[in-house]
Chains A and B, each alone.
Chain A
Amino acid sequence: MEQVSTLERILRGIAISFVIIFFMFPILWIFLMSFQTNETILQVPPQLFFEPTIVNYEGLITGQLETAAGSLKIEFMGNLFNSLFLSTAAVIVGLILGVPAAYAFARLKFKGSEDIAFTLLSFRFAPPLLVLLPLTIYFQKIGLADTYVGLIWVYQLIVLPLILWIVRGYFEDIPADIEYAYRIAGHGFWSTFRKIALPLAGPGIAAAGLLAFIFSWNNFIFALVLASADKQPVTVGALAFITASGINYGQIAAGIVLSIAPTFALAMYAQRYLVEGLSLGAVKG
């Protein structure tokens, strides 16, 4: 397998180049576009060299959109805050609910535990709208429509199965004897859980949390159905922003860059766990 001919090496090089161009070009292009004024963007043929400007980012941060028709207020920073708040809160709630449950499923096999674990997993695969549409009607009745609480609750649909199944795997990896020994020494259940199990499963919990954050951040459909403008995260906000700003393409590009940068940063940080998390623990990276 190792004696590679020159021809093959060249062909491989070409193939890899195509792959890199296809997957990286859109990100690079939008990034470049975010530093251009509308005049540069609208030029045909497109310009690779231009005078970079940060007016687009300034406009987004100050919330003032200067158009030919005058000044327009934009709420993009609010969307960014909503994304941050919703995802963080969803992950915290998910960890508080999910980690003890994961421990119960991993260690204390009990009647019906597998059935329950699989029911939770099956939420991951059910069509979100199936639940969301009746939920809009319910939420209006019980006053949860268009609230952060309602949204964070619904986010558990994606956060909980992920945390449960990844963290469960990490708990199962801890040899039961360690906990057993600690308990023989006279420690109670809670202190064993806190002092032994939690720290040992720490990396797994962190990884599951980071991944759950990325998935929450990238979610679109929950907030589209359940949130109005002032609660919307960037994914939904950016869509409304396009209609509102009409032709200010540089600013749209800048908005996209700001919206995808946090998940990129987290993914780079957590890349060791990505494979495992994306496959819900089926494959180790």
Chain B
Amino acid sequence: MGEFTMSVPAKGRFSINRRYLPYLLSLPALLTCIGILIPFFTAVIYSLQRYRLSQPWARKFNWGENYLNFMTDASFWNTLKVSMTYATLTVGIELLLGLGIALLLQRRSTFNNFVSIMLLMPLMTAPALAALMWKLMTNPGFGILSYFATLLGIKDLNWASDPATAMMTVVIVDVWVYTPFIMILLLAGLRSLPKQPFEAAELDGVPRMFVFWKITLPMLTPFLLTATLFRVIESIQQFDIIYAMTQGGPGDTLTVFQVEAYLNFFQSTNVGRSAALMMILWAITYFLSNIFIKNWLRLREKARGEA
């Protein structure tokens, strides 16, 4: 990675220019983002206040009270549980499915490339619109999937409007949208693996299962880890699919972090609790994204080395 350490025409006004140049170039981008950092610190302050939009006169610092209240707040623990369940289910299924499909499409052929491009379409669909598509398909009255369910003998399947199946329904939509993400990442990973170990294993007649567990999987681990962390970070923050599908309902079945914070802010106008919820979610994602970025950097260096 080359750097300009030379100082060829470095005299007069140019040398001053040179020293400030990097800052000059990145300053506009930075200023834009500082505008966004201010709300972040505001959120920290809100989270330490008793602040309801409906009672602005009662606004005052209560320090850790919003957080302390969470300890005994059943709906907070429900939010945590629902978010964790959602993230675990979606990422778990997407990982298995994505790996499976990537292995199926591993060989470069016109057909395989065509399929892998086709599978990008769900990923390119806005998650909120994907939720609407599935809403039309799971309508108990005329939805095609409800019809298929009755053919299979499942009567009165109410999908997202039944607490028992609501989670399953949004998880299916999430799997539909994001499995292709994991798939294309792993496919790129699989195709970038060195050929020699596989050729050697084949010459020696090593069983294919053994090759998969002992060669493919270990070599694919950095890609698996990156894809998983990326998805966990996004999945634990999921809002679009759940909000567009059920707005967190029925009841509090699907009130994941962001949905709960949104409802707290706009319906119960409880800014303090909403901000405290977001701070906790931020702490979780910050922790995860630090691990992610380390991994991601290693992969990036590798990808750049091969280019």
Could you tell me which A residues sit within 8 Å of B by CB distance? Answer: 1, 12, 15-16, 19-20, 22-24, 26-27, 29-30, 33, 41-46, 96-98, 100-101, 103-110, 113, 116, 118-123, 125-135, 137-138, 153-154, 156-157, 160, 164, 169, 172-173, 175-177, 179-180, 183-184, 186, 188-189, 214, 217-221, 224-225, 234-236, 238-239, 242, 249, 252-253, 256, 259-260, 263-264, 266-268, 271, 274-275, 278-285
| B303 and A282 within 8 A (CB) | yes
| B257 and A127 within 8 A (CB) | yes
User: Is B304 interfacial (CB-CB < 8 Å)?
Assistant: yes
| B128 and A126 within 8 A (CB) | no
| A249 and B185 within 8 A (CB) | no
| A119 and B39 within 8 A (CB) | no
| A264 and B124 within 8 A (CB) | yes
Task: Give the residues in chain B near A105, CB-CB below 8 Å.
Answer: 26
Some 8 contacts from A to B, beta carbons below 8 A apart, are A23-B179, A30-B136, A104-B21, A126-B282, A127-B282, A132-B39, A239-B244, A279-B185
The docked-state distance in angstroms from the alpha carbon of A20 to that of B1 is: 42
| B180 and A23 within 8 A (CB) | yes
Could you tell me which B residues sit within 8 Å of A by CB distance? Answer: 1-4, 6, 8-9, 17-18, 21-23, 25-26, 28-30, 32-33, 35-36, 38-40, 42-43, 46, 100-101, 104-105, 115, 117-130, 132-137, 139, 141-142, 144, 147, 176, 179-181, 184-185, 188-189, 192, 198, 202, 208, 223, 226, 230, 233, 237, 239-240, 243-244, 257-258, 261-262, 265, 271, 274-275, 278-279, 281-282, 285-286, 288-289, 292-293, 296, 299-300, 303-304, 306-307
Chain A: minimal CB distance from B154 (Å): 15
Tell whether A118 pairs with B293 under 8 Å between CB atoms, given A19-B101, A221-B240.
yes
| B304 and A169 within 8 A (CB) | yes
Most chain B CB inside 10 Å of its own CB: which residue of A121, A125, A154, A219 = A125
Chain B: minimal CB distance from A246 (Å): 13
| A15 and B104 within 8 A (CB) | yes
Partner of A29, one of B128, B137, B303, B304: B137
| B43 and A130 within 8 A (CB) | yes
| B285 and A284 within 8 A (CB) | no
The docked-state distance in angstroms from the alpha carbon of A26 to that of B122 is: 9
The docked-state distance in angstroms from the alpha carbon of A101 to that of B261 is: 34
| B38 and A138 within 8 A (CB) | yes
Partner of A271, one of B120, B128, B261, B274: B120
Partner of B285, one of A126, A132, A264, A267: A126
| A16 and B104 within 8 A (CB) | yes
Task: Give the residues in chain A near B117, CB-CB below 8 Å.
Answer: 268, 271
Closest to A124 in B: B289
